Amino acid sequence: MPLPTTPGNPKFIAPLPVWVKRLLIRWAGRPWINPWLVRAFTLLKPLTPPHLLHRIPVTGEVWIPLPGGRRVGVCSDGEDQIAAMLHWGGWEGFEGETFRVFEALLPHVGVVLDLGANTGWYALAAGTADPARRVYAFEPVPAIFQRLTANIRLNGLTNVTAVAAAAAEREGEGVILLPDGSFLPTSATLEPDHLRAIHRRIRAETPIPLTTVDAFLAQREGESEGAAANELPMLIKIDVEGAEPRVLRGALRTLDRRAPLLVCEVLPGAGAAIAEALAGRDYLFYHLRPEGAVERRALVGDPAMHWLNWLLVPRRRREETRRALAAAGIPMDPAAEYSYSI
């Protein structure tokens, strides 16, 4: 989930030196400063461009009202930019065009896998919507995993399981690359080429455990929760910074047996590899944009890196998905050609 610091993004901000940004964030996040800073920018909110406002850190508990009356809370010490975006923009402030589709699909699924969960926004929303739903949030970066588990506790969720591993094409060990930056990383990746593509330097390399979706579900649902769990409709969100084809190659049995709905990030240049991993499984491709889910004949990442997420739907689940989105007022358009101009 590259945030608005990527060259080519229309909201790109020419970066200050990293040490300057870290100093400013630490200063702004101090408990005797941050409340006053937040109050000041709350007054200035109508005059402040959203992409600048979203970079104002917030500390403490941030509670976000969702449609339908429930709330989701996240903790922040000032280094969580997603928490800041949610505080200043509400649920629409972070991937709003994707989140409304995710919310519309939740009543129709019994199991959610959030692969690349970061601090857990999507997993928390899935867990709070239905205490009977099983939610598995995968986050391999140790510092972020601690925030994820803290957020699960904050919301009192017993149906959300945090998994300290990366989903990939094999089980074992791997190395995740952490980009240089001032906030908690949102672009940590198994793919070195990804950081080069978004013009980020590698700050650290961290050994992590790897698993596959197939192996994880075989153990978790096959042994622990019984065969009935294997019949529940499934939604998988994949946001793993260029490693999406690896995830899918490790989920082929699940794709064949469960035909899950997929909400998947598609970065520029990655669409063909993702489509190849899905070959022969009759998935339809819908680009998630403010106007709705727009059907496309091919997966093509947005070169401006503005609308990165796609809904991938097995053909046999197209009509039920269309009805679910229509009930939430989200059109699912037939295949159409359009430009990427914003």
Between residues 45 and 209, the one the model is more confident about: 209
Residue 39, phi then psi, degrees to nearest 5: -60, -40
Between residues 59 and 34, the one the model is more confident about: 59
Would the CA dihedral through 177, 182, 183, 184 be positive or negative?
Answer: positive
DSSP 59: E
Has residue 253 been placed in a domain?
Answer: yes
Has residue 22 been placed in a domain?
Answer: no
What is the reported pLDDT for 56? 86
**Could you tell me the pLDDT band of residue 222, with boundaries at 50, 70 and 90?**
low
Question: Does the structure show a pLDDT above 60 at 183?
Answer: yes
Q: Which helix (H) or strand (E) holds 248?
A: helix 244-249
Question: Does the structure show a pLDDT above 50 at 298?
Answer: yes
pLDDT tens digit sequence for 162-181:
999 999 999 999 999 888 76
Has residue 252 been placed in a domain?
Answer: yes
CA torsion angle 176 101 279 297 (round to 10): -120
In this structure, what CATH number is given to the domain that contains residue 142?
Answer: 3.40.50.150
- Percent of the chain at pLDDT > 90 equals 64
Between residues 95 and 8, the one the model is more confident about: 95
**Could you tell me the pLDDT band of residue 113, with boundaries at 50, 70 and 90?**
very high
Across the range 22-34, mean pLDDT stands at: 70
The total of structural domains in the chain comes to 1
Residue 188 · residue 176 · CB < 8 Å = yes
**How large is the angle between the packed helices 96-105 and 121-129, nearest 10 degrees?**
30
pLDDT tens digit sequence for 192-211:
877 676 667 777 789 999 99
Has residue 295 been placed in a domain?
Answer: yes
Residue 263 · residue 98 · CB < 8 Å = yes
Task: For the chain, list the strands marked E by DSSP.
Answer: 59-65, 71-77, 111-115, 134-138, 160-163, 166-167, 172-179, 202-211, 234-238, 261-265, 283-289, 292-296, 309-314, 332-333
Residue 44 · residue 38 · CB < 8 Å = no
Residue 64 · residue 90 · CB < 8 Å = yes
Residue 240's domain comprises: 94-333
Question: Does the structure show a pLDDT above 80 at 8?
Answer: no
What is the reported pLDDT for 341? 40
Across the range 262-269, mean pLDDT stands at: 95
Nearest to 208 by CA among 293, 281, 116: 116
Instruction: Report the mean per-residue pLDDT for the chain.
Output: 87
What is the reported pLDDT for 238? 98
Has residue 29 been placed in a domain?
Answer: no
3-state DSSP helix/strand/coil % of the chain, to nearest 5: 40, 25, 40
**Could you tell me the pLDDT band of residue 2, with boundaries at 50, 70 and 90?**
low
What is the reported pLDDT for 291? 92
Full-prediction pTM beyond 0.75?
A: yes
Question: Does the structure show a pLDDT above 90 at 36?
Answer: no
Question: Does the structure show a pLDDT above 80 at 104?
Answer: yes
Q: Which helix (H) or strand (E) holds 117?
A: none
Has residue 189 been placed in a domain?
Answer: yes
What is the reported pLDDT for 167? 97
Question: Does the structure show a pLDDT above 60 at 19?
Answer: no
Question: Does the structure show a pLDDT above 60 at 28?
Answer: yes
pLDDT tens digit sequence for 119-155:
999 999 999 999 999 999 999 999 999 999 999 999 9
Has residue 213 been placed in a domain?
Answer: yes
Has residue 150 been placed in a domain?
Answer: yes
Please give the Cα distance from 157 to 121 (Å, whole number): 13
What is the reported pLDDT for 16? 54
